[in-house]
Structure formats: C-alpha cells, structure tokens
Amino acid sequence: MASTINREQFWSVISILLKNYHTINRTICACVIKRVEILSQTDEQVSVPTGMLFKHLQDISNNQDRACEGFVIDMKCLPKKQQNNIEAVGILDFRKDSFKFTFKSDDMDDFEVKFRNGDFSIENLNPLADTERSVRWFNYVLKPKLLKWVLSKGKNTETAGNNGSLCLVDIEKYNCLYKELKRKYSEKALQLWNEANESTDPLKFIYEDLAIAAYLITLWQASDLNNTSVEAFADLGCGNGLLVYILIEEGFKGYGFDVRSRKIWSYYSSNVAQYLYEQTIDPLNFNLPVDVNWIIGNHSDELSPWVPVLAAINNYRMNYFLLPCCAFEFSGNKFQRRNSSVSTYNDFITYTQNISMQCGFETEKDRLKIPSTKRMALIGRSRNYSSTMHLNKINDIKQFVCEEKQMHPNFTQDEIKLRGKVELVRNCTQIDEAVINNIVMKIFLLLLNGNSATANTSNEEWLVGCTLEMTKIAEKLGKEDLKQIKSECGGLKTLLRNKHEIFEIVKPDLVKIRRPQYKVANSHIPKTTKKRLCFFHENHPQGCPLSNEECTFLH
C-alpha cells in the first residue's frame, strides 16, 4: 500500500532523521552537528547557528517558497565500538526537496531521500556497495522508520525534543569514556562475577553499570563549571556494588549501602570493599557520611521516592541522580497510579519528578543509553530557593511527605515498610502445601469439567478436558485463593509452572491438562526410586492412563 505524505511532513521527518540517525544504524551511538552553512550556488560559505537549521525545517509549509535554498551540514558520527569517529555531510536542498547523506567510511551507505509524488524516494549513492544488502536496508529499515516518524509526529515518542538521549552531557566525551570503561572493566567485572558465582545476568548488569558510570563521570566533569562536581557519592541500594567499584577505580570517592551484602563484595579489592556497607536505610533515621554531596539511586526500588527528599533535607549543597525502576510509595507500599492514561512507569516518573520539585530542586530529566526499557533519569543539582530559606523548606518537605504517606499508607503498622535483610523466596514454594493443593485441585476440575469451544470432544479413552485462558481461571478462583498467591513472583502463572507435571501452558496464556508422559528409559542414567504420588492416579476420574511401570510417578 502506497504511503501519502505532504511536503511539510517530509521535511519534519528529515529534521528527526538528523537527530536520530543512530536509531536506524545501531553501530552508531549518535551524530553530532559540527557546522551548518547555507546552501549557495556560489563559493561563498555562510555559517549559521544550528538552531536556524531546525527553525527552517519546523516552519516550512507545502506552498511556501524561501529565499534560503537549503543547508550544508558537517557532522560527526560516533561509533559504539571502533575508536575513530566518522565524518559525514548532509545536504538539504529545498528546491529539489531532497536530503543527501554521505559518509567518509566504506562501512556506511551514502543515500539520498527525495519527496516524490507523496512518498519517500530513496536512492543508494554508493555504486560499489553491496546492492542487495543496501536495498534490504533501505526497504526494511530506513523507509519504515521514516514512515513511523510521520505517524508519530506530535506524539510522545523518541522524536519529541525533550525525549532525546544524553541531553545533559557532552555525548562525544560520554561515548569516548564509555568505550574506555568497557575496555578497562568489562572482562574484569565478568571474571569477578564468575568467581563469586553470582546468579544474576552479568552482561546486563555489567554494560548497564558501565554506561551509568560513564554518564555520571561526564556529568560530574561538566558540573565543575557550576560547583556541583562530586566530592563523594553515596549509592543507596547499591546491590552488587559494581557501579561503586567502577567509580572508585576511576578515582572518585564514594560509598555503597544495601540492606543485604552480596557475595561479589568480598571479591572486590580492599579499597572498594571497605566502602560497601550492609545497612538498612531507614529514610527517617539515616545519616550520610559528612563528605557526601551526591546521592545515587540506581534501581533503588523502595528508596526511589525518598532520594530527592534525602538530598533536599540533608544539606543545601546536596545533589542527586535517580534512575527509577520498580515503583513504590513513601510508605514502602507498591505505587498506586495517579494517571491511568499512561504506563505505570511513566506515571511513577512524573510522580517522582513532582516530589523533586516539591523538594525545591530544578529537576532535570535525561534518557540514558542502557540495555533497559526503564532508562529515564532524574537529576537535581540546583535549587529554586535561596540557602537562607533552607530550614523553612525542610519543614515544608517533611509536611509534604507526611501527607503523602497518610494518603497512601502501607498494610502494616510500620510507618515505612522496609525490605528485610533476608531476601524472601517468592516462587510459590513457601505457601502452605494445603493451600497449594486446594488451588491446584480447583484448577484441575475447572479444566476437566469445563465446557468451551476448545473442549475435548474426540473419542479418546482418557479425558483431557478443555483449554482455558489464564484470566478465565483467575476469575473462577475465589478472592481468598488469589490473595494467597498474588504476592508471589508471577502469581498464578508461577504456580502453574511449578505444577508442570499436571498443567501445560500453551502460548500466549492458555492452560490445559498435561497428558502424562511415558518414562524415558536411559541406560546411562541411574534408576531413581519413585517418591511422589501420581496426581492423575489419585485424582483423575479415570485414573492415570499409564501403568505403574510406564509412569514417572508412584501409583
């Protein structure tokens, strides 16, 4: 189906492309505009501010002729891996309604995008390129992205100016530092992970914390200009301590606090391990080291809404960096959404930003480049009130927090519900066995006796019942049953997976009775004594379809 766009939409999309080329070429971190000149038929070179370029692109309309014929843009592409940056030139020609993008690299395709007959016309400008590969890239990557930007224009997407990535730091310095940190620490960190036998995914945590470290260091270096550079930092809820390790190794003084120590802590060098503290962080009774002037909240969960508060009431010179993940109230209870028209995550970001503003911070927001969908950071490094008002402001903040806790209390008698030192096992294995058996039996009978379009109507001797959606099963179970398992990770689905010998989950969320499997005979595996009773032998009206010798379980 042919797309239909107008001239205004075409140039709007080109404006987006100039800022977001990295989204269609994943080898590039970002493209930086170095110089903008007015396109001229003469040899005269007239440089103009970058803002003038985007103002022209924003104001252009279908029937408007301009004295400006276009722009020539010198750009620098920052590769994610290779060391040397790549020079590029973009030419916007308003007369021809075309944008030409060329690169001083054999690894990148030169191309031209034209506005023709209500559509994008894309041409490969490199005759020596792999034609088949280039055509695939143009047709299945570049053009769909351009059309997506047309459709998303004006919406809250990556194309919106305030949603760009790494807006508060020098992106070239950041990219250079990130590559350097990867070179220095990625293998070391992976080795530490393996030695400590950590159970979490090392690649996700290592590259995420390396990127966060690169961002913080670049931010702090820029903060030297306004006296908000780091003297010492405190990472609250530091987890594995990897971020603390990287920052200390890079010469920064800092501390890491967490309610529970991790195995990997003891594998760090002594100059890092001595600054990692196993300590419950009660926001109402927690004293930071006196030299700290930056608080870090990196996926700090229950502490996330408290980070701006702790920074605000500690002292007037305190700054903070917060990367929220799981959403919580001040009370420690799960976050209750204020705006159901957006996702819980975006609602919590807005809520936390409001907390920061209530605390008197000129709150900045930036999107990080990390392997996570939750990568929006909030930063407070300046106040909207004078230092002489600080004591009065502290009282206002405490009153605000008190009101919020009263509006959204937790279910316990505690003023703040804090995470315990012992990590709870929440995989449905710690629930009373009688409760589990009761719920399992209810689900089994629902499936066995259910009447639906997917019911088993064949003449099979052994009844397998019907297939039901997980939501239907949840509706049939009582509120008390669901209450028993809702606090577990995954809830009903986890319970069903734990009982995989009885139930089978068919994608996406359909559940049916699993037909018993024959015991696989393998001479290389020692015979084991059957200890568990066969569920079907005990509970199915026809018993188990397998004999005692054939069945994996005891009859």
- Tens digits of residue pLDDT in 159-170: 444 457 999 999
Q: Do the Cβ atoms of 88 and 30 come closer than 8 Å?
A: no
Please write the tens of the pLDDT for every residue from 177-213: 999 999 999 999 999 999 999 888 898 899 999 999 9
Please write the tens of the pLDDT for every residue from 462-509: 898 999 998 889 888 877 778 777 655 457 888 898 899 999 998 778
Q: What rounded mean pLDDT belongs to the chain? A: 87
DSSP conformation class of 261 = -
Alpha-carbon gap, residue 124 to 134, rounded angstroms: 7
Please write the tens of the pLDDT for every residue from 314-329: 999 999 999 999 999 9
Coil, helix or strand for 79? strand
Confidence of residue 284 (pLDDT cuts 50, 70, 90): confident
The H or E element containing residue 383 is strand 376-383
Residue 158 has pLDDT above 50, yes or no: no
What pLDDT sits at residue 159?
42
DSSP bridge partners of 298: 323
Alpha-carbon gap, residue 227 to 381, rounded angstroms: 10
What pLDDT sits at residue 132?
81
**Highest mean pLDDT pick, 207-211, 329-333, 526-530:** 207-211
CATH number of 171-407: 3.40.50.150
Please write the tens of the pLDDT for every residue from 242-282: 999 999 999 999 999 999 999 999 999 999 999 999 999 88
Confidence of residue 423 (pLDDT cuts 50, 70, 90): low
Q: What average pLDDT score do residues 79-84 get? A: 88
Confidence of residue 103 (pLDDT cuts 50, 70, 90): very high
Confidence of residue 410 (pLDDT cuts 50, 70, 90): low
What pLDDT sits at residue 260?
92
Q: Do the Cβ atoms of 231 and 293 come closer than 8 Å?
A: yes
Q: Which tokens belong to 24?
A: 């269609």
What are the start and end residues of each CATH 3.30.530 domain in the chain? Answer: 7-161
What pLDDT sits at residue 127?
72
Percent of the chain surpassing pLDDT 90: 59
Alpha-carbon gap, residue 406 to 354, rounded angstroms: 17
Residue 156 has pLDDT above 50, yes or no: no
DSSP conformation class of 138 = I
Q: What average pLDDT score do residues 400-423 get? A: 70
153 exposure class (CB count in 10 Å sphere: 0-12, 13-18, 19+):
middle
What are the start and end residues of each CATH 3.40.50.150 domain in the chain? Answer: 171-407
Q: What average pLDDT score do residues 419-434 get? A: 59
Of the candidates 290, 283, 293, which has an alpha carbon nearest to the alpha carbon of residue 233? 293
What pLDDT sits at residue 89?
97
Could you tell me which residues come within 8 angstroms of residue 498 by beta carbon, excluding any fewer than 6 positions away?
Answer: 427, 428, 429
Q: What average pLDDT score do residues 341-345 get? A: 93
Q: Which tokens belong to 401?
A: 């927090």
Please write the tens of the pLDDT for every residue from 28-72: 999 999 999 998 777 677 899 998 899 888 887 544 556 788 999
What pLDDT sits at residue 453?
42
Residue 422 has pLDDT above 80, yes or no: no
Which CATH number applies to 7-161: 1.25.40, 3.30.530, 3.40.50, 2.160.10?
A: 3.30.530
Percent of the chain surpassing pLDDT 70: 86
Q: Give the CA distances from residue 507 to residues 165, 260, 491, 496, in Å, rounded to whole numbers and listed in that order.
A: 35, 37, 17, 13
pTM of the predicted protein model: 0.75
What does residue 319 show for φ and ψ, rounded to 5 degrees? Answer: -120, 165
